[in-house]
């Protein structure tokens, strides 16, 4: 069998450095996240993202310009990983966008596994590949081996990066909704900042919200 492999191109700073975090969140759908730790590769295609709109977004850790040791990385250079611990258990992986001092970030919520599936199974303690392996932001980070110690890692390096292999989604394949788990954010809780691939079984969220599309 012959596989035609399109050129795979690592996304560079010009992708992350832009102002429109919603557009970047949408464009990240279909891209591939790769981790390459200890000569072991694992990767998956992004099928769900959420945008966090910095200082003006009540759902963002950087709301109101809140700068702390944890959130400082969001105020740094675009194309950096922001990984933090949630509920004392889950490591959530975000991509920092926009220029220095503008704390935009995009949460990677779900992937379709590609390479290193045995490795991802080992990391997550799962026996078989199913839709739960990389469904939800906690599972994504676990499968890729990402932890809080990776916060601040450049996405233009060789250990953790995002690539474009030429895969494209049609506009009608992309769903948009409110973000998940941000009820505390008052009026910003209902902003349509979540993007997902309609009908993809790795997409998270309650029931219909993401899965069946529409």
Partner DNA sequence: CTGACGATTCACT
Partner DNA sequence: GTGAATCGTCAGC
Binding site for DNA (CB under 7 A): 50, 52, 59-62, 66, 68-71, 74, 82, 84-90, 92, 94, 105, 107, 124, 132, 135-140, 148, 179-182, 184, 204, 206
Nearer to DNA, 92 or 160 (CB): 92
Q: Give φ, ψ of 47 to 5 degrees.
A: -120, 0
Nearer to DNA, 64 or 166 (CB): 64
The minimum distance between CB 50 and DNA, in angstroms, equals 6
Nearer to DNA, 32 or 140 (CB): 140
Structure tokens at 17: 């450095």
The minimum distance between CB 184 and DNA, in angstroms, equals 5
CB 144 within 8 A of CB 42: yes
Give strand ranges (E) for 26-143: 32-37, 40-52, 80-86, 90-97, 104-113
Q: How far apart are CA 44 and CA 140, in angstroms?
A: 9
The minimum distance between CB 41 and DNA, in angstroms, equals 22
The minimum distance between CB 195 and DNA, in angstroms, equals 13
Structure tokens at 46: 């992004």
Fill in the DSSP letter of residue 12: -
The enclosing H or E element of 124 equals helix 117-124
Nearer to DNA, 15 or 202 (CB): 202
């Amino acid at each position: 069998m012959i596989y035609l492999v399109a050129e795979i191109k690592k996304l560079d700073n010009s992708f992350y450095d832009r102002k429109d975090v919603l557009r970047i969140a949408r464009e990240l759908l279909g891209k591939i996240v790769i981790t390459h730790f200890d000569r072991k590769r694992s990767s998956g295609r992004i099928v769900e993202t959420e945008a966090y709109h910095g200082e003006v977004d009540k759902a963002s850790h950087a709301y109101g310009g809140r700068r702390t040791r944890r959130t400082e990385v969001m105020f740094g250079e675009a194309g950096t990983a922001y990984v933090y611990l949630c509920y004392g258990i889950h490591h959530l992986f975000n991509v920092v966008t926009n220029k220095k001092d503008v704390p935009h970030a995009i949460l990677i919520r779900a992937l379709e596994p590609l390479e290193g599936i045995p490795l991802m199974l080992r990391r997550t303690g799962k026996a078989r590949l199913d839709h739960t392996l990389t469904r939800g932001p906690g599972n994504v980070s676990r499968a890729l081996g990402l932890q809080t110690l990776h916060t601040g890692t450049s996405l233009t390096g060789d250990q953790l990066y995002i690539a474009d292999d030429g895969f494209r989604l049609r506009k009608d394949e992309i769903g948009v909704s409110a973000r998940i788990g941000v009820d505390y954010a008052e009026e910003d809780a209902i902003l349509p900042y979540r993007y997902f691939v309609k009908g993809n079984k790795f997409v998270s969220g309650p029931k219909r919200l993401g899965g069946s599309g529409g």
